[in-house]
Structure 1
């Protein structure tokens, strides 16, 4: 009565050989590298506006972690086109990025990245607090 369907349904999942797969670990590495690279960009921007030894050391540690997670490829770093946003806003952005990196690092049990992210959260949290005190004094 009815003719059988001769083509594959769009609802049939493709065979695993049809497209590349990444493991959960690889996906977390990619996500963590992205968060740390974003944190590195903000750190470099802060270094341009308010240089400090702490930020220099943090930037180098972040760059090493990003390179490790990307299979040895160093992150692209640029300091061109810096504008002068409020330092507190940059520290707030860096604090949020470090928090995201910490969550991903903890979920993949990457102790080195988790410690680095937590240290950066503490440093940026302290900078936010001191910046808020300076703003209140004016």
Structure 2
């Protein structure tokens, strides 16, 4: 009824056998995820800094860069330089994006029990929530 398997499986199913491809632990996968979320948050923070420079955003960007470097084994994250000739994106959309990224980073940091990254992500969520609330007040009033 069925044709027999003629070749060896590419997946190792027997206990005790080693495979040819590397495996990462759950902690390594979470480190990679967290570094990615924080790097994306850093990119959005750099865009916000270009639109409206502030010491709060400068400090946040430096702290984010330090965390990404720590998670990536000391490798400095690539920093973005927003183009000056493009039309100015709406600041509210950037704050919403940053809030979402900080939330994702917070979830991963909590699951990996990384207190420093979790505190930083929670602080950034609060800062972007406050910025969004302030923008809503100025546009409504």
| TM-score calculated relative to the size of structure 1 | 0.90
Of 111, 118, 128, which residue of structure 1 is paired with 2:115? 111
1:72 to partner: Cα distance: 0.1
Of Structure 1 and Structure 2, which has the larger fraction of its residues in helix?
A: 1
Q: Which runs of 5+ in 2 are unaligned?
A: none
Distance 1:80 1:123, change over 3 A: closer
Report the counterpart of residue 131 of structure 1 in structure 2.
135
Displaced runs of 4 or more, over 3 A: 3-6, 9-16
**What CA deviation, in whole Å up to 9, does each residue of 1:91-137 have, x standing for no partner?**
00000000000000000000000000000000000000001111112
Indicate if the aligned counterparts of 2:96 and 2:132 stay in contact, CA closer than 8 A.
yes
Report the counterpart of residue 34 of structure 1 in structure 2.
36
For the residues of structure 1 that align with 2:72 and 2:133, how far apart are their CA atoms?
34
Q: Which runs of 5+ in 1 are unaligned?
A: none
**What CA deviation, in whole Å up to 9, does each residue of 1:32-73 have, x standing for no partner?**
000000000000000000010000000000000000000000
- Number of corresponding residues: 135
For the residues of structure 2 that align with 1:33 and 1:5, how far apart are their CA atoms?
42
Alignment RMSD, CA only? 2.0
Map 1:44-123 → 2, pairs under 5 A: 44-81=46-83, 83=86, 84-123=88-127
